[in-house]
Structure 1
Amino acid sequence: MRKIIVCTFLTLDGVMQAPGGPDEDPESGFRHGGWQKPVDDDEVGAAVAEWYERSDAMLLGRKTYEIFASYWPTADPGNPFTARMNGMHKYVASRTLTSVQWQNSTLLEGDTVDAVRALKASDGGSVNVVGSGDLAQTLMRHDLVDEYRLTIHPVIIGTGKRLFAEGAIPTALEPVSVSTTKGGTVVGVYRPAGRPRYDSY
């Protein structure tokens, strides 16, 4: 059984939209693209690199796939991440794409939830869901996420797409590892642990 792991960069107020650059995802008039780099540090990079080294493949929605596929095939070969991103297998969930050209990419067929269940049941290592907010929320609604790996950066944006958007299923989380980098980013790994419990003081 393979693990499905949601790997996401977040602002302190939970925004995941366009961390990588101003033009990455301007949907809905988002004007804060590129918020991550000014609050990033080497410890974050090392943690994320380890997340990728421990995983077998990526699971991407259409938008994230197209962003990555337009960048990584021609990215700086001196960047150690370039070979890893191009070499990993990519599974793509899309209702509109009919083919995928980036090397080692496979377009999932049929219903996304059924396809991901079959992927989980197949042989192999863990699969990282990177970016792909709509896809991640679909997987959360169908109890298909085994782990969250989150970097929570010290910046507030106030608007934009959120990983845990309104309508998210209430879920208790078990912390696996949580640390804070020198730049103030929280690097947290959490596993779903059933429904939240409620009590009063």
Structure 2
Amino acid sequence: MGKVIVIEHLTLDGVMQAPGHPEEDPRDGFRHGGWATRGQDPAMQEVMGVYMSSTWSLLAGRTTYERFADYWPKQAPNPFTEALDRVQKYVASTTLTEPPAWQNSTLLKDDAADAVSRLKGELQENLVVFGSGVLVRSLLPRNLIDTFILLIHPLTLGSGRRLFPDSGSELSTFRLVDSVSTGTGVIVATYQPAGS
């Protein structure tokens, strides 16, 4: 049975929106895009590489998928681009109607949590999620996430979309299974749910 592994860049105040570049996600007037770039460190790639070196598939929401599909296939050859081109990609969306154009992509049209629950039962490989905040928040109430890899950056932004919603969440506890500090002050913490 496959596991869902969520990899997120977070600020100390829990913001996950637009870590990569200024224009990545300006929804709700967010103006701090690209906040994670100064914290990049080889230790981050080592931790993520553990989950991307074995058999895995990409699970993404529409917005993240479209940004990845527009960016990664156009990059010069590198291990991350090659890995993303090669893997099976599952796109959870209720608004996409066309089959995704990026090779090895499958559209999940149904309710995201239902579709992911089915995939977990059908697949042996892990489903790795980068970003995709709306998708991740839809999986939380059904306890479909097996591992969170949180790259916690030493800054606060004061506004922006957060990984865990401010309201409507139930009490949950997590077990720390690994942690690494980087030279840039980012803590890479790996958590697994420990129950309610």
**For this structure pair, what is the TM-score category when the shorter chain's length is used for normalisation?**
over 0.9
Q: Deviations over 1:69-120 (max 9, x none)?
A: 100111121x221101111111000010012111111001322222111100
Structure 1 partner of 2:191 = 190
Question: What is the CA RMSD across the aligned residues, in angstroms?
Answer: 1.2
Give the TM-score taking structure 1 as reference length.
Answer: 0.92
Deviation for aligned residue 1:55 = 5.0
Q: Deviations over 1:161-186 (max 9, x none)?
A: 10012133321101110121121111
**Structure 1 segment 106-117 matched on structure 2, within 5 A:** 106-117=106-117
Q: Report the 3-state secondary structure (helix = DSSP H, G, I; strand = E; otherwise coil) of the residue aligned with 2:160.
A: coil
Percent of aligned pairs with the same amino acid:
46
Q: Deviations over 1:18-37 (max 9, x none)?
A: 11100110111111001111
How many pairs align?
A: 194
Report the residue type matching 1:8 in the other structure. E
Unaligned runs of 5+ in 2: none
Structure 2 partner of 1:59 = 59
Q: Report the 3-state secondary structure (helix = DSSP H, G, I; strand = E; otherwise coil) of the residue aligned with 2:195.
A: coil
Report the residue type matching 1:119 in the other structure. L
Report the residue type matching 1:118 in the other structure. R
Structure 1 partner of 2:163 = 163
Report the residue type matching 1:174 in the other structure. R
Give the TM-score taking structure 2 as reference length.
Answer: 0.94
Tell me, yes or no, if the aligned pair for 2:175 and 2:193 is still in contact at 8 Å.
yes
Deviation for aligned residue 1:45 = 2.4
Structure 2 partner of 1:177 = 178
**Structure 1 segment 129-148 matched on structure 2, within 5 A:** 129-148=129-148
Unaligned runs of 5+ in 1: 196-201
Between 176-185 and 29-38, report the one with greater CA deviation: 176-185
Q: Distance in 2 between matches of 1:29 and 1:64?
A: 18
**Structure 1 segment 6-155 matched on structure 2, within 5 A:** 6-54=6-54, 56-77=56-77, 79-98=78-97, 99-155=99-155
Report the residue type matching 2:33 in the other structure. G
